Amino acid sequence: MYLWFKLIHIFFIISWFAGLFYLPRIYVNLAQVSPQAEPAEYARLLCMAQRLYKFMAPLGYGALIFGIAIPFAAGWWDQGWVHTKLLLGLLLLGYQHICRAHLRCFEQQACRHSHKFYRFFNEIPVLLMAAALYLVVFKPF
């Protein structure tokens, strides 16, 4: 079962991260477009962001479910790195929910952040992914 769980987990992770990486890039563009000056462009980008969020949101839960199943199947539950990796997964799920809050602000045309903010915001999942990969590869504790 371990290999099946691992395969499914990797599938969910790849798909989810595609959304986690791209959604804030759409936010960068949305923050640069005035909804009053360019309503068609704003509506197009907003629609892209809404569809992407609806696609990626369930993938995060799938990644987390199989990320929890793997340590049980492999007998790793007592290793500290597993708990830290699961914490990173929960942080990424929290990031996803923060993305939803930003999407709501764009839907209400009430975004107060600049495109520069979203450029930095976009780097958070990269850093969390790097930390999770380190834990999986090196199993430091």
Going by C-beta distance under 8 Å and a sequence separation of 6 or more, which residues neighbour residue 121? 24, 27, 102, 113
102 appears as a binding residue in the annotation: no
Contact 15, 56 (CB under 8 A): yes
Span 129-139, pLDDT tens digits: 999 999 999 99
Cα 109 to chain centroid, rounded: 23
What are the residue boundaries of the structural domains of the chain, listed by start? 2-138
Residue 89's pLDDT is 98
Question: Would you say 70 and 9 are in contact if contact means Cβ atoms under 8 Å apart?
Answer: yes
Q: What is the pLDDT of residue 100?
A: 98
5-51 residue pLDDT tens: 999 999 999 999 999 999 999 999 999 999 999 999 999 999 999 99
d(C-alpha 38, C-alpha 9), whole Å: 40
Structure tokens of 90?
């929960």
Taking alpha carbons only, the member of 43, 54, 57 closest to residue 107 is 43
Residue 9 annotated as lining a ligand binding site = yes
